[in-house]
Amino acid sequence: MYLILAGLIMLFSWMVSNRLKNKFEKYSKVQLQNGMSGAEIAEKMLADHGIRDVRVISTPGRLTDHYNPADKTVNLSEAVYNQKNAAAAAVAAHECGHAVQHATAYSWLEMRSKLVPVVSVASNYVQWILIAGILMMRTFPSLLLVGIVIFAATTLFSVITLPVEYDASKRALAWLENKNMLTRDEHAGAKDSLTWAARTYVVAAIGSIATLLYYVSVYMNRR
């Protein structure tokens, strides 16, 4: 049953990721009438929210966009940073949405930030601990339980990420609309892009919860 569920989650994840890729390719062709690049969109959104201590910088790669609360930087992939289309505007505004969350002490973001050090360490070792825990179930059953507790922290991180990402998109779209940054068609494209981006986090959270429940069932059954 777990293998079937895992297969379905993997399939759904691939479908959502592929759909997201197609959406961004589609809306990357919708050029903004205001002629602003992703970097310019980001800088204006930060300025409109009175945020002066956050830098907008370009980062190598594709879909590498993120906000770093440690050094207060909005990192935009090269395409988003330079291009002037609906997809770039959506991503740039979304990442600035995280900066606004940080500036306003958004509770869910603060909770996620506190888990980052734990998850960073746990992600490197948790799979090995879980595998070893299953293999040593008879001689050292507590090892699997330790792995489950650690994996639960990564699952909690995935779940907390959902309101953080959805709220950042909500803030981005509200600002784009209130400031009349985009035309109706451009705004629809930006909203569609962010909707599909958010769904990737939903799939990740579901997959993490399913995996956690699997290991819990293994521990309970083998006891």
List, by residue number, the catalytic residues: 95
Each as own residue / partner, the long-range contacts of residues 119-124 (CB below 8 Å, 24 or more positions apart, any chain) are 119/153, 119/154, 119/157, 122/150, 122/151, 122/153, 122/154, 123/154
User: Backbone phi, then psi, for 179, in 5-degree steps?
Assistant: -95, 5
Q: Which of 76, 65, 70 is nearest to 53 (CA)?
A: 70
- Residues 170, 147: Cα–Cα separation, whole Å: 36
